[in-house]
Amino acid sequence: MADSAQVPTLVYLVTGGCGFLGEHIVRMLLEREPRLRELRVFDLHLSSWLEELKAGTQNVIDACVQTGTQYLVYTSSMEVVGPNIKGHPFYRGNEDTPYEAVHSHPYPCSKALAEQLVLEANGRKVNGGLPLVTCALRPTGIYGEGHQVMRDFYYQGLRFGGRLFRAVPASVEHGRVYVGNVAWMHILVARELEQRAALMGGQVYFCYDKSPYKSYEDFNMEFLSPCGLRLIGAHPLLPYWLLVLLATLNALLQWLLRPLVLYTPLLNPYTLAMANTTFTVSTNKAQRHFGYKPLFSWEESRTRTIQWVQAMEGSAR
């Protein structure tokens, strides 16, 4: 959020500023926002249940209204759209591509409700009488330095002697985006909201870059292969029905252990459906509306991520 009353010296509040993406946004603001006067970081580790996230988003909107903060950029997710639980592919779609968003997992449901709250708040009067201007960014699968799932895959590969086993057909494509480019898009949106409020207010934007379309496993190997890991199998080594069974058992075990420990398996029904459904975006809406271009090329994004994995490799010895 940026408080327009402070222009040309801006005050930003980054909620979730200690998380994976939040840390990169904070760093990007410090490095590339010359009008930054004050940066405030707020982070509170809450559970991911539906009503808590919805209430938290409503609290942020209410705080904007009460403090007279005029601009709110919400970090949504492509999972607001899909992949849906029916496994329908989304191939090179954009923000206007028809797609049946059908979800059952708490995360996409909660993100969809929170995004709806933010977009519906666009135009609401804040303290002082000015309208609140909101928009939402929907990153595809984010990767880069600090990515917990990438870290989990790396250590899993080490436990299996430097090997990972293919579970998803290579033909299933996903759009991925480097975390630095997601942070950069947030900065550009915050800069342009004041001047382009009529155009950008109430809008959603897929957040993407030039990273190649590949399956999750093949994409991850772009970074893990240079660090000594191998992906075994040209085709999935286990039949899909068996993966469904294992994912269901993991979900049951997670539910049974919830009162005692936090068990978060990589494989569960939601991640299995995500990984096995093609979901790729191709859109220039962000470029047309506020001049977005990736700050980091694919080559630089790949190099930075490999160096981070290699640093983990050294620390694991």
Residues with a catalytic annotation lie at 107
Cα–Cα distance for residue pair 22/183, rounded to 1 Å: 8
Going by C-beta distance under 8 Å and a sequence separation of 6 or more, which residues neighbour residue 240?
A: 276
* 138 contacts 204 by C-beta, under 8 angstroms: yes
* 131 contacts 124 by C-beta, under 8 angstroms: yes
- Residue of 302, 294, 314, 297 lying closest to 220 (CA atoms): 302
Phi, psi of 88 (to 5 degrees): -70, 130
Going by C-beta distance under 8 Å and a sequence separation of 6 or more, which residues neighbour residue 274?
A: 79, 83
CB atoms within 10 A of CB 296: 20
C-alpha dist (Å) from residue 239 to 130, 164, 169, 191, 245 = 58, 16, 11, 49, 10
Question: 196 in helix, strand or coil?
Answer: coil
* 69 contacts 60 by C-beta, under 8 angstroms: no
CB atoms within 10 A of CB 253: 13
**In residues, how long is the chain?**
317
Q: Which two tokens stand for residue 286?
A: 């962000």
Strand partners, 206: 138
